[in-house]
Amino acid sequence: MQRITYRVKVSAQGAKRRISYLLRPSKRLLNTKSNLVTSVNPVTSSRFARTKKLAQVSSIALLSLPAESFTTMDSQVPTYDHVMLENTLTIAAVPGDSTYFATDGFQHGFGYDLVRTYADELGVDVNLKAYASEKAALRAVKSGNADMALTTASTQLKSQLNLSSVNVSCGYDASLTKNGLHPKVSWTFNSANDPLSQKASYFLCDSIKLENTQKLAAFYNQNLLKDAYSQDHFQRTLTEKLPDYQSSFEEQARNYNHDWELLVAMGYQESHLDANAVSPTGVRGLMMLTNNTAKAMGVSDRVDPYQSIGGGARYLEQMKSDFADVPKTDRIWFALAGYNMGPNAVKSIQRKLRAQGIDDKSWANIYAYLAENRASNSRYGQAMHYVSNIRSYLETIKTQTV
């Protein structure tokens, strides 16, 4: 066994030396007079440089393959090297409450957020391709049209296509099911030996990452409107009350560049669309504005529905501006958290994360911090539920499941 291992290492080292030798300029060219060197066609030089780069990538790819691959002549460049060369991770995904949600400019989701975090760790962009079925998404990976798939496909289907997958919960399925998510959300790859698959497995199953995955699952909890009472109340409110205010929501949304259904979701969270609502702390109206916020937003009558919706829309736009440096995909969650607990409180959390070397512009990291510290600060727990609930209401309104 030791002898076999040694031969593989020698073969790998030999391959690397041979490729390096081939890429090395010949001594004859190095000794050529300078006037001949400067006369080389720039296009030819550029082509040679690109060919050399591809050869270097290919040499890395060959050396990263399993030992038996050195005996074959048709070895392909690993998907990982292709992703790094193109600086893009292409995902084949099927929309769903456990994978991703994309409607009217809102693109998010439990599985999608995990993929974005993985891409950030690799230092590449994400290109998401939507497919109507899990089989179609998996075939995209098989044919090379996608680098990986995000699905809830069965093990049998993945086996039929001879694909390898990693469960995003890394075996802790209960952390997903208790939040109403599919227990078998997975990332699927062409080969288990590809570094892209291997790195994904390490990424998902790292103890710290796994803990954050479980917290992210709590944010994407799908149980909020599952019970009959909640469903009935939500449906009756939208059926009986929304028609009275819909034109106001639509107009104020246009005034402040919002999606009007997002404002509806906020209104339901704040007051269940009750224009006369009053809380024990003194906030009032459909959007439950404080007296100070109402004055700052130019609202003279907090129980006037049109003014209340306008004040809430204007304040939300201000929050979005305060977090303009946050990527658009996560910005709305930051803005909603700022709307609920104040922008300075959110920015304080960001500073603490930055001090720890943690990405402070990722909502997953902000949410994880809120979850970890909510016992010591009740506002953190409130903000968690506030943002998560609005996300759930918005998705329900968008998909018209009520």
d(CA 56, CA 73): 17
Q: Please, are residues 128 and 93 in contact by the beta-carbon 8 Å criterion?
A: yes
d(CA 179, CA 169): 12
Q: What residue type is 266 in one-letter code?
A: M
Q: Which residues pair with 149 in a beta bridge?
A: 92, 188
HEC profile of 158-220: HHHCCCEEEECCCCCCHHHHCCCCCCCCEEEECCCCCHHHHHHHHHHHCHHHHHHHHHHHHHC
Q: Report CA Rg, the chain.
A: 27
Does residue 270 carry a catalytic annotation? yes
Which alpha helices (H) appear in 297-342, and where do they start and end? 305-322, 328-341
Check residue 272 and give left, alpha or beta (phi > 0: left; psi -120 to 50: alpha). Answer: left
- What is the biggest distance separating any 2 CA atoms in the chain, rounded to whole angstroms? 89
d(CA 176, CA 221): 9
Q: Which of 270, 317, 372, 395 is catalytic?
A: 270
Q: Please, are residues 172 and 207 in contact by the beta-carbon 8 Å criterion?
A: no
The three-class DSSP label of residue 137 is helix
Tokens at 8, concatenated: 């593989």
What are the distances in angstroms from CA 100 to CA 152, 240, 319, 393?
Answer: 11, 30, 25, 16
d(CA 122, CA 279): 47
How far apart, in Å, do the first and last CA atoms of the chain sit? 63
Sign of CA dihedral 129, 131, 134, 136: negative
Q: Which residues are catalytic?
A: 270
